[in-house]
Amino acid sequence: MLDPLAQLLAEAAIRRRLLEYCRGIDRCDAALVAGVYHADATDDHGSFQGLGRQFAVYATQSLARHALATTHVIGDSLFDWIDAATVEVETSVLAVHRCANDDGEYLERFGGRYFDRFEERDGDWRIAERELTWDWDARELVTRAFPPDRFRPSPRHASSVERHDQLR
């Protein structure tokens, strides 16, 4: 098993991967999402079962077509160590998709959990296996609270990310 300091450093690296996943999904950046998985990692998202890197392309293309914007927020993670290079990680997730149709804008809200097996390979912690489970979901018609030009839009696609980085 890992010594306490090494374990804390590993957990911080794993949390970073989880946050990179959320950033990649929200920006529809398939490369960023794919980077959180080992090359042979699997993902079961219910509507998709296959390689994690294939899921990255599937999910980001689907969300780019379906949602105007998304926000994925993760809660605390619980780490169950199997050995020094393998840990089971359970993380709650709240996803909100802003969408529109002929009836107007609506939010799709989803609460669930990521059940991940992270493995350290060559000093690098990434997902080896992921399963998403469902706790609840809701759909809500909305009206905007603020005028469209009140805030600068968050970066979503590569061109807007580059623009955002240039403005900093």
Q: Which tens digits make up the pLDDT trace of 88-124?
A: 999 999 999 999 999 899 999 999 999 999 999 999 9
What's residue 154's pLDDT? 81
Average pLDDT, the chain: 92
Question: Quick one: angle between helices 52-66 and 4-27, nearest 10?
Answer: 40
Q: How many domains does the chain have?
A: 1
pTM: 0.90
- The b/e string for 97-136 (b: 16+ C-beta within 10 A; e otherwise) is bebeeeeeeebbebebbbebbbbbeeeebbbbbbebeeee
Q: Which residues constitute the domain of residue 85?
A: 4-167
Question: Per-residue pLDDT averaged across 31-39, rounded?
Answer: 98
Which structure tokens are listed for 158? 């590569």
CATH number, domain containing residue 57: 3.10.450.50
